[in-house]
Structure 1
Amino acid sequence: MSAEKQLSFEVVREGTSETIDVLVKRLVVAGWTGRDQAAVRHHIEELAERGVKAPGTTPVFYRVSAARLTRAEIIDVPGQGNSGEVEFVLFQHDGELYVSVGSDHTENDVEAYGVTVAKQMCEKPVATRAWPFTEVAPHWDQIHLRAWVIENGERTLYQQGQVSAMLDPAALLDGLAEVEEAFCDGTLMYNGTFDVIGPLRFARRLEVEMIDPVLERSITHGYNIEILPLRG
């Protein structure tokens, strides 16, 4: 049996809130999810120059242990060859689809060896709040994502963009169903991100945000990164 993770989410629905307890049995990290497939191919070619093997298809759906999901204020990482990135997160519970925000923290230095291994090496922070997807579906492409890094005590914008830059959720869920079991209760999926502002880099803290400008609300999450000593 695969690892499982119990998470509670505060669901904000039509101005009210309730808490749901979600047992995540399957964690998926979708990659190469850009709607502009020409740009995706260009980025794949750039990474190939770093020794990162091109995926067989795009998008690609990496499997990660659900035990890697975390709400911890601090995550431990081996060295400084890793970084986080803002992503919208989908999960299903009691037949209903929800959306939240998280960070696909990844060991970048290991990607040339294997992207699945690199993604498995770091914990995956996810926010405590979520929205029913039906509430954002009519204006989905207007949803914004942002990430900040804290460097030398300064908060610096690291990523920003609208989810319209990525495949819409229906296409992503259909794509997952084509390669393995369909999206269902107990599945949680990260869904791709934007280019960073400046160089890809390690930081001691990352803060992520998902903004709904139509319903005038947001979901935020942040965490600190602690470096483990490397001793051979």
Structure 2
Amino acid sequence: MFPLRFDVAGTSVEVPVRTLLNAGYAGRSQDDVAAHVAELAELGVPAPTRTPCLYPVAPYLAMQTGEVPAQHGRTSGEAEWALVIAGPREEDVLLTVACDHTDRALEVHGVAWSKQAGPDVLGSRAWRLVDVADRIDSLTLSAHVGGRRLQHGSLGELLTPAYWLDELRGLGLAEEGTVLLSGTIPMDAEVDQFADPWRVELADPATGDVLTCEYTVRQLPEPIA
């Protein structure tokens, strides 16, 4: 078990991560998702057999860190929200900001492999899902890399936390220690996603509150072999 710690309205909540899941192809419009799958197929990324997808990855990849080591220069993040189940009650389900750092060179060989090759970086603050559930679609996600905005959109573009909680219940995974990342929103093709550093924000326009996670990418030395 790998504990994460969140500041939730001034209270520290510790969650030992037992199950870590990355959602993929999780846009609210599955017609748009199908078009995106076709675009990726042209780049050599294998098409999924169904959408949306869930990719189980090692629990130790859920991190709260300011640095991400990478083996080469073709890795990049994705702005996402994360569900964190911190206990058995409805009010124990947390929502926070996350960045799924993915190996793009490995992605063409298998999306699940590419997710396993990098961490899921989560913010240090979280909201209780019940406190924002009535306005979930108005929350916004954005990512900045190398000082430029790479992504910006609303949670209305993605399948909802409620949708994924139902999926987790059906899989028997709606239990303490489960963390699920949402999948991401479109990237601006004019911005270099392989730049550095990364900053992702999950904002609530109704209150002005913003959850953040940020980190730098450190390229590892060449192998000695």
User: TM bucket by the smaller chain?
Assistant: over 0.9
TM-score (norm 1): 0.91
Which position in structure 1 is the counterpart of 2:42?
49
| 1:57 positional shift | 1.3
The one-letter code sitting in structure 2 at the alignment partner of 1:77 is A
Confirm whether residue 124 of structure 1 aligns to residue 120 of structure 2.
yes
Confirm whether residue 228 of structure 1 aligns to residue 220 of structure 2.
yes
The equivalent position to 1:80 in structure 2, one of 73, 95, 116, is: 73
Structure number with higher strand proportion = 1
Aligned-CA RMSD value: 1.4
Once the two structures are superposed, residues 84-113 of structure 1 have per-residue CA deviations (whole angstroms, 9 ceiling, x without a partner) of: 011001011122211000100000111121
1:55-134 equivalences under 5 Å are 55-95=48-88, 96-134=92-130
In structure 2, distance between residues paired with 1:127 and 1:193:
16
Q: Which portions of structure 1, spanning 4 or more consecutive aligned residues, are displaced by more than 6 angstroms?
A: none
| 1:210 positional shift | 0.6
The equivalent position to 1:181 in structure 2, one of 172, 181, 191, is: 172
| 1:137 positional shift | 0.4
SS of the equivalent of 2:133 reads helix
Confirm whether residue 142 of structure 1 aligns to residue 138 of structure 2.
yes
The one-letter code sitting in structure 1 at the alignment partner of 2:5 is S
In structure 2, distance between residues paired with 1:148 and 1:88:
15
Which position in structure 2 is the counterpart of 1:206?
198
Which position in structure 1 is the counterpart of 2:188?
197
SS of the equivalent of 1:222 reads strand
Which position in structure 1 is the counterpart of 2:209?
217
SS of the equivalent of 1:28 reads strand
| 1:174 positional shift | 2.2
In structure 1, distance between residues paired with 2:85 and 2:65:
22
The one-letter code sitting in structure 1 at the alignment partner of 2:138 is Q
| 1:148 and 1:206 in contact (8 A); partners too | yes
The one-letter code sitting in structure 1 at the alignment partner of 2:93 is L
| 2:150 and 2:193 in contact (8 A); partners too | no
| 1:75 positional shift | 1.1
For this pair of structures, how many residues does the alignment match? 220
| 2:145 and 2:193 in contact (8 A); partners too | no
In structure 2, distance between residues paired with 1:118 and 1:229:
20
In structure 2, distance between residues paired with 1:169 and 1:93:
15
Unmatched segments (≥5 aa) in structure 1: none
Identity %: 32
The one-letter code sitting in structure 1 at the alignment partner of 2:87 is D
1:143-182 equivalences under 5 Å are 143-150=139-146, 155-178=147-170, 180-182=171-173
